[in-house]
Amino acid sequence: MRLLIKGGTIVDPVSRRMFSGDVLVGEGKIAALGESLDDAVGDGGDVIDASGKLVVPGLIDLHVHLRDPGFEAKETIESGTRAAACGGFTSIACMPNTNPVADNQTVINYIRSKAKELGMVNVFPIGAITAGCAGKELCEMADLKEAGAVAFSDDGRCVADSGVMYRAMQYAAMVGLPIVAHCEDITLSAGGLVHEGYLSTMLGLKGIPAAAETVMVARDIILAEATGCRLHIAHVSTAGAVELVRQAKAKGLPVTAEATPHHFSLTDEAVAGFDPNTKVNPPLRSTADVEAVCAGLRDGTIDVIATDHAPHTPEEKDVEYGNAPFGMVGLETAVGLVWTKLVHTGILDPVEAVAKMTVNPARILGIPKGTLEVGAAADITIIDPELEEVVDPARFKSLGRNTPFAGWRLKGLPVATIVGGRVVYQREVARED
Amino acid sequence: MRPQGKDLLGLATITTEEIELILDTSARMKEILSRPIKKVPALRGRTVINVFYEPSTRTRVSFELAAKYLSADCINISASASSVVKGESLKDTARTIEALGADVVVLRHPLAGAAHLLANTIAAAVVNAGDGAHEHPTQALLDLFTVKEKRGNLKGIKVVIVGDILHSRVARSNIWGFRKMGAKVAVCGPATLIPKDVERMGVSVHHSMEEALSGADVVMMLRIQLERQKAAFFPSLREYSRLYCLTPERLSLAKPDALIMHPGPVNRGVEISAEITEHARSVINEQVTNGVAVRMAILYLLSGGED
């Protein structure tokens, strides 16, 4: 059966063009792009009216914690992929810090087969760098790649031992997959809860200096140069880290970087009421850091917008700030924050914003996604750039409700998500807020 | 007049008028303490529960006496003796305490923001008796009261706080309190124990005690935790003491009638030399007495004792 997405503004991040037209989907693939394809739908075909909306390649989130296996009270592959679909994502890469850790083929196979069986969105597992994410012994990277891992990361933890990281990058370069680095010198962050600055001083919460991240970004860039390994810096949050990535790119090193919506939308001022939903690692930073992250997004230093979706249960989060776990959910607020804070403000044009959530992460992970080329899998997201809604965590499909954005009015929201030609999410008629 | 909020969580968010109200009420309470029979029926039938997640003698006893002098019923719960050791969360403990009928809950907790969490959970008034390195508002209020009693006025005086500012809730509350009352505040300590951007709280920062003490009206010495040395915040107690111990020589740089304060307990010979502790200008023991009066005032005001 065919599907026609009619009359939208097609955003093609590959050719960097925006043009009005129809997208015809058939057999799960993009069948045609063009003007007035009505006749090609055939009898019984579905039509989605996309007038006034953006039709973009299915969004990709390179940084998601699905929590399954092991932490199913926080999230499951089912709830997580459903949340992704509602957030406009057709593909997500999930981090290996599950229980057991995705440091072996069995866990990678489980995640892929479970996701496939559920059929919501495409799930690309990221394998661990070291066994148990313990930072000591290398994982069987070739084995993990064979099972379907698209990158390696010990995310949530930094590989503290530089010798181990050096060999991990030599080995990953040989295997041909990138390392996604969580950059944190734990001797500097040591027990810290929030960004070290006026807010940490005022609140008496132990600070995490910006240097804790920046130092480790410097180390990993040096190791990427030494090994030739492709390095992707996760959740860049400091001005220093942005500058180091900029310099690395100027030197032509194989370094890419991502920023999260919370790191370009919020400063550490958000912590003032001790809301544990503002507790995240790396922490919400200073105004100068947020400005640097936005500048990095604008000039292309930061290639990717990824959520670091990190669901937790209310029982875990609704405690003293110091006892709450780090992390916030992001899948269902990402598009709204990108449009509200970056596109409507003029920091990014729609093509750039879409590129950072489609073709750029696809290239880093080496997956055949993020494009609307004829013949490609019909992964498509439709975004209404003018639609507004107030964030209500009670409506999330994610099991995690830990967001600092509850009550925020966001403008620019996904209205339909199509995976392999199948509509997995379509927004109901506009809700009244 | 009553304080605006139902709770006393810190001095960062309190108004100058509220501070003045508490100090004026404390003076009336202190008069009660001077009577042969130190008991008034103001809070008869009210219940104050002290919940202490950290060991404390001084503050807990002070609150307990304050409640008793006002005829409130007072119960103490310490973390080790309660269901906290069975893994009950602070919020659940709070709801239980409220169900037991507390009118005021006094909380001491090792984590910053714990009193906020409690205040958001229960309808009873919450008094923060120290939350991590965040605030210790009753200590600062008794310090304000003590200085005001001695000096008559807080406006324009110079207060110097010396020691481990980084980990000190007493320092934070005192900075807010003295600044709001119009005093100048200087903080002094090794660079490793001065929190980042503390200047934005309206204080000057000094690493030389000699420089900081010049012209001071109040010298407030903080307790140095011996375990900080192990965490490499300073090289040795010997060097710390050489640089930051209050000695008679250093005291001579302050105004001749400068007051010496310390929230206690004192490490004699480390942050304050033995002869200074007993010095005529030391008000350390009066701070303790005034603490009871100030806490009586706070319990009274938060219980709506005015009507």
What is the ipTM for the molecules in this complex? 0.93
Interface test with A, best of B131, B197, B222, B230 (most A CBs within 10 A): B197
pLDDT at B1: 41
pLDDT at B189: 97
Nearest residue of B to residue A190, measured between CA atoms: B231
Question: What's the predicted TM-score (pTM) here?
Answer: 0.94
pLDDT category of residue A433 using cuts at 50, 70 and 90: very low
Average pLDDT over residues A57-61: 98
Question: How distant is the Cα of B48 from the closest Cα of chain A, in angstroms?
Answer: 22
d(CA A317, CA B110): 18
Q: Name the one residue in this structure whose structure tokens are 């962050």.
A: A189
Is B164 near chain A, with CB under 8 Å? no
Question: How distant is the Cα of A324 from the closest Cα of chain B, in angstroms?
Answer: 11
Element (H, E) at A130: none
Single out the catalytic residue among A185, A268, A308, A384.
A308
Which has the closest alpha carbon to A297: A258, A266, A251? A258
pLDDT at B15: 96
Average pLDDT over residues A162-167: 98
Which has the closest alpha carbon to A132: A166, A172, A102? A102
- Candidate from A31-35, A140-144, A209-213 with smallest mean pLDDT: A31-35
Encoded amino acid at B191, one letter? A
Q: Quick check: A204 and B90 CB within 8 A?
A: no
| E runs forming strands in chain B | 47-52, 73-78, 104-109, 125-131, 158-162, 184-188, 203-206, 218-221, 259-261
Cis peptide leading into B137, omega within 30 of 0?
Answer: no
Chain B positions in Cβ-Cβ contact with residue A200 (cut-off 8 Å) = 195-196
Tell me if A180 sits within 8 A of A157, measured CB to CB.
no
d(CA B168, CA B44): 35
Active site residue A38: no
Residue ranges of chain B with per-residue pLDDT less than 50: 1, 307
Q: Which residues of A272-306 are buried (b: 16+ CB within 10 A; e: fewer)?
A: eebbbbbbbbbbbbbeebbebbbbbbeeebbbbbb
Span B42-73, pLDDT tens digits: 999 999 999 999 988 889 999 999 999 999 99
pLDDT > 90: percent of chain A: 96
Span B139-162, pLDDT tens digits: 999 999 999 999 999 999 999 999
Mean pLDDT of chain A: 96
- Candidate from A217-231, A244-258, B211-225, B255-269 with smallest mean pLDDT: B255-269
Residue A127 in this model has a pLDDT that exceeds 50? yes
Instruction: Report residue B306 as tokens.
Output: 């005015």
Span A82-104, pLDDT tens digits: 999 999 999 999 999 999 999 99
Span A264-310, pLDDT tens digits: 999 999 999 999 999 999 999 999 999 999 999 999 999 999 999 99
pLDDT at B265: 85
Question: What region, left, alpha or beta, does residue B171 occupy, with left being phi > 0 and alpha being psi -120 to 50 degrees?
Answer: alpha
Q: Which residues pair with B261 in a beta bridge?
A: B220
Name which of A203, A315, A323 is nearest B134 (Cβ-Cβ): A203
pLDDT at B171: 98
Residue A179 in this model has a pLDDT that exceeds 50? yes
Question: What region, left, alpha or beta, does residue B132 occupy, with left being phi > 0 and alpha being psi -120 to 50 degrees?
Answer: left
CB pairs under 8 A between A and B: 65
Average pLDDT over residues A145-155: 98
What lies within 8 Å, CB to CB, of B242 at 6+ separation is none
Instruction: Report residue B165 as tokens.
Output: 């500012």
Tell me if A281 sits within 8 A of A63, measured CB to CB.
no
Which has the closest alpha carbon to A14: A427, A395, A397, A352? A352
DSSP A316-354: HHSS-GGGSPS-B--TTTHHHHIIIIIITTTSS-HHHHH
Q: Quick check: B200 and A205 CB within 8 A?
A: no
Encoded amino acid at B304, one letter? G
